[in-house]
Each structure stands twice: as C-alpha cells, then as structure tokens.
Amino acid sequence: MQPSPSYHPLNFWWQPVEETICPFGARLKELREKVGLNKSETARKSGLSRGALTRLERGLHSPDGDTVDRLAAALGVRREEFRCPDWVLPRPGQKFRR
C-alpha cells in the first residue's frame, strides 16, 4: 500500500496542501532559540514536561491545538508563527489527523 502524497515518515503537525516539508519540531526549535529559551525554561513556561518538548522537537509526537497555544504563549509569539506556507493549522482543541 502506497502512502498518500501528504504522508511522510516523520511525524508532521500540519497536513500539507502539496508535497512540502515543514515539520513542527524544527519550527518549534527555531522559535525557541530565537527568543533565547532553553528546553527546560520552555517546558516550565508551557506546562509541558521537558521530555514532551524534546519529543515534539524531534518529530516523535505531534501537538494538538491546545499544546500549540500553550507553546505560543510560553514563547511570546502568535500561534500563526508555527505555520508553514500552504499548511493548515489545527484549531484549539483539534487533534492532529493523518
């Protein structure tokens, strides 16, 4: 069985409109480093465990909409900052679906 065009073996947060690579974890790490926070500080401010944050950044887990909101607040950015061009953001309360 062939995977759909939007499938990728890494765990992506958004569902791409076309074949585009923009993993949530890479964007999270980029934003976290941009504001000068380490993983422990970000985890504490967001209410996540450091392990959960690490799994998100490594692409092992995908966040739901509420987690995106918590991370945005912890980093002092708008949730739209996590968005990649042509990708759909999950709404608060919405779970990631493949």
Model confidence, pTM: 0.67
Q: Other C-beta atoms within 10 Å of 37: how many?
A: 18
Query: pLDDT of the chain along its 98 residues, tens only?
Result: 444 444 444 444 444 434 445 578 888 999 999 999 999 999 999 999 999 999 999 888 888 889 999 999 999 999 888 876 655 666 676 665 54
CATH class of 21-78: mainly alpha
Domain map (residue ranges) of the chain: 21-78
As a whole number of angstroms, the distance between CA 67 and CA 63 comes to: 6
As a whole number of angstroms, the distance between CA 45 and CA 39 comes to: 10
CB burial readout 42-81, b (16+ within 10 A) else e:
bbeebebeeebbbbbbebebbbbbebbbbbbebbeeebeb
